[in-house]
Structure formats: C-alpha cells, structure tokens
Structure 1
Amino acid sequence: MKVLKCKWFLRIWLMVGALCMMACVIGDGKPLDEATNEPIVIIEDKLPIADPYILYWEGKYYAYGTRVNGFEVYISDDLKHWKRNETKALSPENSWGTRWYWAPEVYYVKSKNLFYMFYSVDEHICAAISTSPEGPFIQKEKKPIVPEEKGIDTSFFIDDDGTPYLYYVRFTDGNVIWVAEMNDDLTSIKKETLTKCISVTDEWEKKQAKVTEGPSLLKKGDTYYLIYSANHFESKDYAVGYATATSPKGPWTKYSGNPILRRDKEAAKSVGLVGTGHGAPFICADGSYKYIFHAHASDTSVGPRTSYISDFSISSEGVIRITGETIEPVVIK
C-alpha cells in the first residue's frame, strides 16, 4: 500500500513539474528573457531604422541608423531582440546642424581609446566622440568635416599601416563615392588626397537616378572590398554591389555578378523585401560576418524603412555573398 501511494505521489509530482516547465516555456504565449526569466514583450515587430550599422562590443550588439533628429541606439544579445536605449546616442544639442541626421557609423579606435561616430547632418559630414558605444557622442568643435562642401554617407577605415581613410558621397555628377586620408584628429581630412572611387556605370545601377552611396570598406589578404548601394533609395530595385582593388584608393573593379543583394536575390526574396540596400557588414561574437540592411515598408510604400540581417561571407575565390536565413529583428520592452 505504501508503495502504491508513493508511486501515485511521484506521478502527480512529475505531472505538476511538467506543467510548470510548460508554463515557463509558453509564458502567456511569449518567449522568456533568459536574463530575467520574464516573458519577452515585443513593442515593435521590426527594427525601425534605415541606413543601419551594427557595432559588436564586449558581448553586446549596438545598432544605429536613420530615424529621428539625432541618433538612437538599440542594444541586443542575439541580433533578433533589440532594446531601445533610454537616451539617444547623439542628441542635436551635441552636434552641428539641425536636420537630416543620416547614416551613422560607430567605430572603436584603439589608439585613442574612444568611440567615433561618423554621420551626415544637413547634407554635410561630421564626427562625434564618446567613451561608450551608448554615447553620449559629442562633437567637440561644432563644424562639418568639410565645411565648404555638401556630402553624405561616411564610412571609416584604418589600414594595416595605421593610415585612416574616410569614404563618403560627394554630389559630383550624381551621388559619387570618394575617399580621403584623415588627419590624426580623425575629425578632418587631407583634401589633397581626395580620390574618386565609384560612380554609376552599370545597367543595374541606373534603374532610378545617378546614385552610388552607402560605402563600406573591408580588407581580406591583399584585396580591398568596397561595398556600396546604387539607385535612388525610393526605387524597389535599390540594391547592393561591390568592387575590389589592391589599394584603399583604388582603382576599383566592379564585380561582374553585381548586384549581390536586391529584391530578386534570395536574402530579400525569401522574406518578401523590396528596396533593399544601404547596409554594412559587421563582425559577430564568433568572428564571422553578417550584413545589416534596410528595406521598404512594403511593396507599395517606401517608408518607414526597417532593417534586416543576413549572412555575409567572402569565398576562397574572393567573391562576396549575402545569403542565409534573413533575421527579422524586433524591438522589445
């Protein structure tokens, strides 16, 4: 009799335990936050930034992009779930300019032990500095990097020999990507080194407007890769391609298989995206690369643009691919 009671009690205990485990997993139909064991509450079903950029730093991913005056920062552990930081990474009062805050990119510069944000405001390029990827980023001297000329879409690169370069778009017969060496302060350029990199030449770039923009620079071995977007951002055929060179200043040879990301390519097509582009590759926790990019709100509406993440790789033959299961980020409470 005691044995039967014991077995019955054990059976009930196991059933209760199983129900408790199910409750933890289901949690009112919501996944659990591993850190707090509380249900994850999704407040936005998309990551609401355009011209996005991600920095991985000390176990966290930091995403910046175009959305408001100044720049917000979103923080994630897993690239799927993002929390909007309570304060802006860059507020207008800490910057030159008052409107059109576009395309921020943030880099940790080891020699300075500082984070640098390069961005566009009022169609001029600027730089701000912080001791944290969360900010606040502050522009110490409130003036553009190139005061006398309009420009947008900055991207920063330090070569193996320590030379810093700034790639950005000048309005020279359309949107054209140029590069210049930077001075040691990393807030000004050596104007005498300005060199033209990429302009509209190929058919896939000519769907709408003369636009090449959103540059990113990578180096693998002795090859430099300049990833860029082409067409007007309002075009459904906004797309991504790349060119290669043996020098950070070029001359550049465009990849014959361009574009590598567009609405008809798998990374976009698999989740029904159009207007895909102006992204950036970034290093993940495991040392691999991924690519964040924005897309139109829908097939019939450009905005608000939102961001997505796909795998990014360079093959042994030196070919860049943007592939894999596209991550559709969400913003959580």
Structure 2
Amino acid sequence: MTRATARRSGAAAITLAAALLVTGCSNGDKATDTSNGSRMFTNPVISTDAPDPQVIQVGDTWYLFSTNAQGRNVPVRTSPDLVEWTEAGDALPTLPDWADPGKTWAPEVIQLAPERFLLYYTVAGRESGRQCVGRAVASAPQGPYSDDASGPLICQAELGGAIDASPFRDTDGTLWLLWKNDGNAIGVDTWLWSQRFAEDGLTLVGEPTRLLKQTEPWEGTLIEGPFLHRQDGRLYLFFAANAYDRAEYAEGYAVCESPTGPCVKAAENPILKSSDAASGPGHASMVVKDGRTWLVYHAWPPGQEGSTDPGRQVWLDEVTWVDGKPVVKGPTGTPQHRP
C-alpha cells in the first residue's frame, strides 16, 4: 500500500466511524441513536417467522409467544424493551397425549399468581380431527408448560373446531376466555365466543356466549384472533379478519358492554390494514408501557403474502386514544421513538 493510499483509507475509516456514531448502526440492532440522543427503532422488531404474537410483562422482562415455527411448538422470546428480542426456546416442548404436532397455533399466556402461569393454545385434536384449545401450567413465564388434561378444554368440532384462545382478567377480578370457532374450515360462520373461568384458570363455568361473527365486506369470510382490553373504563374487543395469507387481512375492533357482550363493531374499521411498509397486518396483542399503548402484530413483507421466507414478521406500533377510539399509527416502516 502506498503512503497516499494509506492516507485515503484512513480518511475513509474516520468518515465511516463518524457516520456510525451518528446513526448508531450495530449488527442489525433495531434501535438507533439520532444526533440528539433520542432512541429510535424501525419495524419489524422480529424479522423472522413469528405469527400470532402475544406479549406479557413479568418484572422487567417482556415475553413474546407465537405460533409453531423452527421445530418449536410454542416459540418464546424475551426482551427488556419490546424492541430487542432474544429466542428463549420452546414454552411447550411436549404436547399432551390427545394432540398431534404440527398445528400448534396462537398461544397466549396469563399470570394468575407469582409462580403460576397459564398457557392457552390451539392444537390438532387427534380424536376430533379438528383444531382444539388446550391449557397448560408453568411456574415461570417462559415455561416449560405442561398440559396434564385428558382432553381439550374446548373443541367445537361440529363448528369446524376451536382456535385463537385469549385469556382476560377484568377489573372486577373475573377471569374470561375468548376464542373463535374455526367455521371457515367447513364453510360455516366464524363466531367469536367468550366464557367465564373458575379462579384456577383451568375450568370453564356457565355457558359460552357468541359475541360477533363476520358481517362486513372487509372481513371476507372470517373473523379471528380476538382479545379484550379496557381503556378508561370502556371494554374493547379487537379482532383480525379476512384470509391470513392475503393483503386484505386487517385488524378491527368493537366496543362491548361486558365480556359477554353485546358488542358493536366500529364504523371506522379496519383500523390497521396493508400499507407500503407491510401487508396483511393483524392477529395482535396490546401492551401498555410507561403510559403509552402499543399494538404487537404480525405482517408480511409487501408482495410476499403466504411465503415461508421470511414469513409473518412481528411489528410494533403505537396506539393513541382519540375521543374513545383507538388509532393505530401503522404499519410504519420508518424510524420512530422506541417505547
């Protein structure tokens, strides 16, 4: 190398180092530092396949659970900040004897005591030949969870099966489970259901209630992925609709009088739909961090609906509440302030 070449190389290195200090680039880190020191991030926060994400917080750690992928029944990831996620294994390494592997979908977890966590998940029921809902217990949020039941918690085989279970503890302390009958599997209506739990979270009591079904053009032939959220005393039922592998898949909501309804869909639905940044966004969960509300959901890269590489990635966008209505700022593909 000549002396002139060395000077040019050194100058280039200094220029590159200065640029990296400004942008904060570091080996795929989703967070960046701007020149004024504000921490930023850019979606997706998980760039590999992690469908149907649900997030809970335990202590200072966030836990994300998702549909089976990479040989794991219930992949679990951890994060200190909702942005940087680390794989933490399989939360449900062993399925119960009544279930078959390969279709373990949409897991959701709720904490009932300091060392008692309940996982509700969709799995292939061997006897019914349909998707059914199971429940499993663990002493730590990441598991391992164990399902010692002799059969599914809910199946509804005559209605196509039961999927997308979501637990909810209301402000009065009552515990509820939501789910969808998989009617589109057999060409019938897809209802969202709710039923009250006993305090142990293992036994359903009373009778199930039908809340909503597909009725609007944007919903296509199905609604699914329900979850409940209270904000300023109002009860919101969020749901996804349309075919999961199409750009028309989107997220909407309804306002309910109670966990058993009645529920009225919002006129402004869908509140989250495909954009230039992401396609087919939906099947979400909602978290609150430092007074800000965030929607965690999956979406495809534009034009890659139904592909397995990279699959459905995980996105994080803020929700603001305007006159009692949730407004989702997304899908976003540009830097934004991290939670």
Range class of TM-score, shorter chain: 0.7 to 0.9
Q: Please identify which structure carries the higher strand content.
A: 2
Amino acid aligned to 1:193: E
Contact 1:80–1:328 (CA<8 Å) still a contact in 2?
Answer: no
Task: Please state whether the residue corresponding to 1:234 is helix, strand or coil.
Answer: coil
Q: Measured at CA, do residues 262 and 94 of structure 1 come closer, stay the same or move farther in structure 2, by a change above 3 Å?
A: same
Equivalence for 2:326: 320
Q: Is the 8 A contact 2:46 2:314 kept in 1?
A: no
Contact 2:272–2:330 (8 Å) recurs in 1: no
Q: For residues 231-255 of structure 1, give each alpha carbon's deviation from its aligned partner in whole angstroms, at most 9, with x where no partner exists.
A: 1112211010000022111111110
Aligned to 1:254: 265
> What secondary structure, in the 3-state scheme, does the structure 1 residue paired with 2:262 have?
coil
Q: Secondary structure at the match of 2:204?
A: coil
Structure-to-structure mapping, 1:89-100, within 5 angstroms: 89-93=91-95, 96-99=98-101, 100=103
Q: 1:281 aligned to 2:286?
A: yes
Compute the displacement of 1:22 (Å): 6.5
Contact 2:156 2:162 in 1 (8 A): no
Distance across 2 between alignment mates of 1:230 and 1:221: 26
Q: CA deviation at 1:159?
A: 1.8
Query: In terms of Rg, which structure is larger?
Result: 1
The one-letter amino acid paired with 1:299 is: G
Q: Following superposition of structure 1 onto structure 2, how do residues 293-304 of structure 1 map, counting pairs within 5 Å? A: 293-303=297-307, 304=311
Find out whether 1:199 has 2:213 as its counterpart. yes
The Cα of 1:25 is off from its aligned counterpart by 5.2
Distance 1:327 1:297 in 2: 11
| Residue 159 (str. 1) matches residue 170 (str. 2) | yes
8 Å CA contact 1:96–1:142 kept in 2: the answer is yes
Of the candidates 236, 249, 274, which is equivalent to residue 247 of structure 2? 236
Residue 306 of structure 1: which of 309, 313, 317 is its match?
313
Q: Residue 4 of structure 2 corresponds to which residue in structure 1?
A: none
* Structure 1 alignment gaps of length 5 or more: 1-17, 34-43, 264-268
Given the superposition, is the C-alpha separation of residues 235 and 279 from structure 1 closer, same or farther in structure 2, using an over 3 Å criterion? same
Distance 1:180 1:53 in 2: 20
Q: Does 1:179 align with 2:194?
A: yes
Aligned-CA RMSD value? 3.0
Q: Is the 8 A contact 1:95 1:138 kept in 2?
A: no
Cα deviation, 1:104-159, whole Å, max 9, x if unaligned, reads 1111113x741111111111011111111111111132421125642000111122
Write the distance in 2 (CA, Å) between the matches of 1:327 and 1:47: 16
Give the TM-score of the pair, scaled to structure 2: 0.76
Question: 1:140/1:262 Cα in 2 relative to 1: closer, same or farther (>3 Å)?
Answer: same
Task: Determine whether 1:217 maps to 2:222.
Answer: no
